[in-house]
Amino acid sequence: MFINGTILGNMIKGLDDLVWGPWMLALLLGTGCYLMLRLRFLPLRNLKFALKCAFGMERGEGGRGKISSFAALTTELATTLGIGNIIGVASAMVLGGPGALFWMVVTSFIGMATKLTESMLSVKYRSRNDRGETVGGPMYTCLQAFRNKEAGKLLGFVFALFAVTASFGMGNMTQSNSIADTLWVSFRIQKADTGLFLTILTILVVIGGIGVIGKVTQVLVPFMGVFYLLGTFAVITVNWRSLPGAVAGICTAAMNPSAAAGGLFGSITVTAFQSLRWGVSRGIFSNEAGLGASGITTAAADTDDCVRQGYISMTGVFLDTAIVCTLTGLAFAASGVLSLRDEAGLPLTGTALTLAAFRTALGEWGGSFVSICIALFAFATVIGWAYQGERAFEFLMGGKTRYNIWYRFAYGLTAFAGCVCPLEAVWNFSDICNGLMAVPNLICVLALSGKACREICAYRITGATGTKKELHKAKGRGLHLPRKAAGHMSRQHPY
């Protein structure tokens, strides 16, 4: 007996709604709020320091990682600066109304505390594989930091399993599907042809490992980021008269969606919970705060200063969602495309909505511009996630790297499947993977939050607001820490 596509699609959608119910929103936002309070808002107060570190204006200590701190950040940004910043924002503002953008931004600021903590722990509890390469992430944190080794082993295994699954879904199929769809709409390139080319290109890049991936992302991420932001600024500038109304409508719709109906936003039939649900889930999809996967890349940084690298990793959330997603959403709202409908009378969404927005400023050339941006963003995410998924797969194999080649080829072939699968099924599957991966990571973060927060609060930052006073208090509690907080670098594998 076979299950047809419609039934399977409905089952995936039902599971997606279950995973992303109120409990998941409470877990993600609750963890972020708890950490922000326990860190005394240091993620916000030290944001300037974090940005200076990220862009090389604050020197840090060297270490034994594989790539530079900046390459680690760009590789991490490659996994987050994907279609979540473009098509993800479009789907959030259609499914959750314009108020979803408000919740995306709120989630990003709260998520900075989560990302700082989980990334700091990933560097602190790094290990080495059978080749002597530096490896880390929530699975190694669970394994090495938990006093109850059986519980840590189980949590690490569950996280790694979901991370591998998420790499095929969120990291690969969702991105490749968007590339194929965009190139078909804009240039009429067959999706199968796109899938074949993307598969070959992905295998060629990921076969070289994190060294090659880091070199590619160091060039690709800054270029595509600036290129895309110039386009969004053009859309907002052309439609600047509508900008105040768009901002007001977004803030109003976050609490009362029906009050923002009409005008720029058309008819809105969502509830306040739907606005919150889609804003949070798409925000997490975009910046990955709380998922833990980015800690795998962070652990490869050439530094022993785990707190500093945590701050660098934290800036990814700010740049990804608070900057790029906000500008994208404002471009959609100000251009008035949220009120447009297709030939079937349904609201425009995804690629069609994005193309319509950029055409208001760039004309027909706007379609080509968006297609190039989506292809670059999505491909960067594909190759960035390849490393994260491979390290999780390696953990499941007991730290043995000889099996990695099979993962790399399977990952490349998955890109072809993503190009030809239905869009809705791919997105729902990716949402499920995100949610399931977040659970063991957040349990780990909360269990270790006391030790992590004390270490972050005691970290000395020259010129940071209030840090001298906090350091004095930390010394009084016996928590004086050196400027360089070295992490553990042992080999320990459960299988």
What tens digit of pLDDT does each residue of 446-487 get?
999 999 999 999 998 754 444 444 444 444 444 434 344 444
Residue 431 lies in a domain: yes
Predicted local confidence at residue 71, as pLDDT:
64
Predicted local confidence at residue 460, as pLDDT:
82
Q: How far is CA 73 from CA 80, 176, 216, in A?
A: 10, 22, 13
Of residues 16 and 317, which shows the higher confidence score?
317
pLDDT tens-digit series, residues 1-36: 444 557 777 787 888 888 877 888 889 889 999 999
Residue 57 lies in a domain: no
Residue 421 lies in a domain: yes
Predicted local confidence at residue 169, as pLDDT:
84
Predicted local confidence at residue 473, as pLDDT:
47
- pLDDT bracket for residue 249 (50, 70, 90): confident
Predicted local confidence at residue 160, as pLDDT:
95
Least reliable range by pLDDT among 70-74, 112-116, 428-432: 70-74
Question: Percentage of the chain with pLDDT > 90?
Answer: 34
* Sequence-ordered strand ranges (E) for 414-485: none
Element (H, E) at 262: none
Stretch 30-59: mean pLDDT = 90
* Long-range contacts of the stretch 190-195 (C-beta < 8 A, 24+): 191/419, 191/420, 192/416, 192/419, 192/420, 194/419, 195/415, 195/416, 195/417, 195/418, 195/419, 195/420
Stretch 53-69: mean pLDDT = 64
Of residues 306 and 383, which shows the higher confidence score?
306
Cα separation, 380 vs 176, in Å, equals 11
Which range is most confident: 79-88, 220-229, 260-269, 485-494? 220-229
Q: Which domain holds residue 244?
A: 68-339+350-451
Q: Is the pLDDT of residue 276 over 50?
A: yes
pLDDT tens-digit series, residues 135-180: 999 999 999 999 999 999 999 999 999 999 989 988 888 888 888 8
Average per-residue pLDDT for the chain: 82
Predicted local confidence at residue 482, as pLDDT:
39
Q: Is the pLDDT of residue 210 over 70?
A: no
Which range is most confident: 37-46, 228-237, 354-363? 37-46
- pLDDT bracket for residue 101 (50, 70, 90): very high
Sign of the torsion angle spanned by Cα atoms 234, 237, 241, 247: positive
Of residues 425 and 286, which shows the higher confidence score?
286
Stretch 371-389: mean pLDDT = 86
Residue 145 lies in a domain: yes
Which one, of 361, 98, 365, 367, lies nearest residue 237 by Cα? 361
Least reliable range by pLDDT among 40-54, 139-153, 194-208: 194-208
Predicted local confidence at residue 349, as pLDDT:
79
Q: What is the DSSP letter of 239?
A: T
Of residues 471 and 493, which shows the higher confidence score?
493
Residue 11 lies in a domain: no
Which one, of 297, 265, 253, 484, lies nearest residue 386 by Cα? 297
Residue 289 lies in a domain: yes
Least reliable range by pLDDT among 121-135, 256-270, 329-343: 256-270
Cα separation, 471 vs 475, in Å, equals 6
Residue 245: CATH number of its domain: 1.20.1740.10
Q: Is the pLDDT of residue 235 over 90?
A: yes
Residue 190 lies in a domain: yes
Residue 399 lies in a domain: yes
Domain count across the chain: 1
Question: Percentage of the chain with pLDDT > 70?
Answer: 82
